[in-house]
Amino acid sequence: MANTSINPFETAKQQVDIVAELIGINDGVREVLKHPKRELAVNFPVRMDDGSYRVYTGYRVQYNMARGPTKGGVRYHPQVTLDEVRALAAWMTWKCAVVDIPYGGAKGGVVCDPKHMSREELERLTRRYASEIAPIIGPEMDIPAPDVYTDSQTMAWIMDTYSMLKGYSVPGVVTGKPISLGGSEGRGEATGRGCAYVIREAAKDLGLKVKGAPVAIQGFGNAGSVAANILNDEQGAKIVAVSDSKGGIYKADGLNPHTVEEHKAKTGSVVGFPGAKSISNDEVLEAKADILVPAALENQITKKNADKIQAKIVAEAANGPTLPEADAILFEKKVTVLPDVLANAGGVTVSYFEWAQDIQGYFWALDEVNTRLERTMVRSYNAVHKVATERKVHNRTAAYVVAIQRVVDAIKIRGIYP
């Protein structure tokens, strides 16, 4: 679903320039903010089930360490590029800063098609990739996590591989692990839950009732489905449209997201759900809804379709779904955009909680995790909303002002070594 003709790293650098002009960052610091600290590209062989060998390319980019060790997911996708990984690492830097957790940003990726690989092939690929990047990861340096087409099992393989290389168990090397290996309660639903919390807060400021409000969700994966469930179950919203990579469905009087999940689990897609109208992913974005949650891949909302969006709130559960020129159009239309660095930061927030629990060897109950997550997301939304209101800018710029200022402060206080 990604629009691969647009370089996401150029988008990420444009966003830095916008904020640098706004808050007066000097040219030297601006250059630091527009360059990753460290990049590793690896090419490694994997034995396939038929006995043949195939060479895969993987990346790990550590963007900025001024505020602490870097943090970020690993994605498996045939369209992974170095510039995409750079952009995602940059966005992770700002995401960690906007929710004020002591991390910098990183990202990893392997160019592969996991849909056409067996579990055994994925395990061998994961372990070899983990061994290749092992010199630059660790609980005090860089902590990977799940992302597109990776999951808790992937993290377990990385954790085990790294631990075997060290000679002792190191649960804090990754987050998003199974509970039995030091994972945190609430981590699986944290991105969608955090998104639902900021939607609730934004709706309050707009005077919009979430209860009964129609919601469209592009991308019914982990983040999108959890956001749908929480908006439906806990806030009383009406889910009218959802989609995945194969297409979308629409039902004006509302879909039961749990039943849609069951249908997708059985058939592999939301398409064909009984009683719903089939629509395209583009039509999901343009559906008649008060709240739109883009939860698929980047570059979905552009200058071509931004004017067709009917939602009053656009909450970015995906990374980078809205291009800068689309931001301007939505702002002009008075659409409240809750940017990715805020709206989907629940995942990295609970990843931080998981890491903190691993380091302490002391684990929290689910209600404590969710209470801490809610507190963090509400505080972060309020900080962004305050800047947006005072400076009369849209929320993405406000979030970047909050985040980049925190990173700049850390860079300046630490100084440039030597």
Q: Where does the chain hold its CATH 3.40.50.720 domain(s)?
A: 190-343
CATH number for the domain whose boundaries are 190-343: 3.40.50.720
pLDDT band, residue 2 (cuts 50/70/90)? very low
Percent of the chain with pLDDT over 70: 99
CA end-to-end distance (rounded Å), the chain: 45
Cβ-contact 235, 200 below 8 angstroms: yes
Q: Is residue 159 pLDDT above 60, yes or no?
A: yes
pLDDT value of position 297:
80
Based on the residue annotation, tell me whether 107 is a catalytic residue of this protein: yes
Residue 406 gets the label, from left (phi > 0), alpha (psi -120 to 50) or beta, of alpha
pLDDT value of position 1:
43
* pLDDT tens string 227-266: 999 999 999 999 999 999 999 999 999 999 999 999 999 9
pLDDT value of position 6:
76
* pLDDT tens string 202-225: 999 999 999 999 999 999 988 999
Cβ-contact 249, 242 below 8 angstroms: yes
Where is 279: in which H helix or E strand? Answer: strand 277-279
Find the catalytic residue in 13, 107, 238, 312: 107
**How much is the pTM?**
0.92
CATH number for the domain whose boundaries are 38-181: 3.40.50.10860
pLDDT band, residue 148 (cuts 50/70/90)? confident
**Distance between CA 222 and CA 121 in Å, rounded?**
23
**Distance between CA 156 and CA 114 in Å, rounded?**
17
**Distance between CA 43 and CA 20 in Å, rounded?**
36
Main-chain phi, psi angles of 287, to 5 degrees: -65, 155
* pLDDT tens string 370-393: 999 999 999 999 999 999 999 999
Average pLDDT score over the chain = 95
pLDDT value of position 5:
66
What angle (nearest 5°) sits at the alpha carbon of residue 29, between those of residues 28 and 30?
Answer: 90
**Range name among 21-35, 105-119, 318-332 with the lowest pLDDT average:** 318-332
Mean pLDDT of 124-151: 96
Mean pLDDT of 347-374: 97
Scanning the structure block, which residue is given the tokens 């509400």? Answer: 378
**Cβ partners under 8 Å of residue 178, min gap 6:** 152, 153, 155, 156
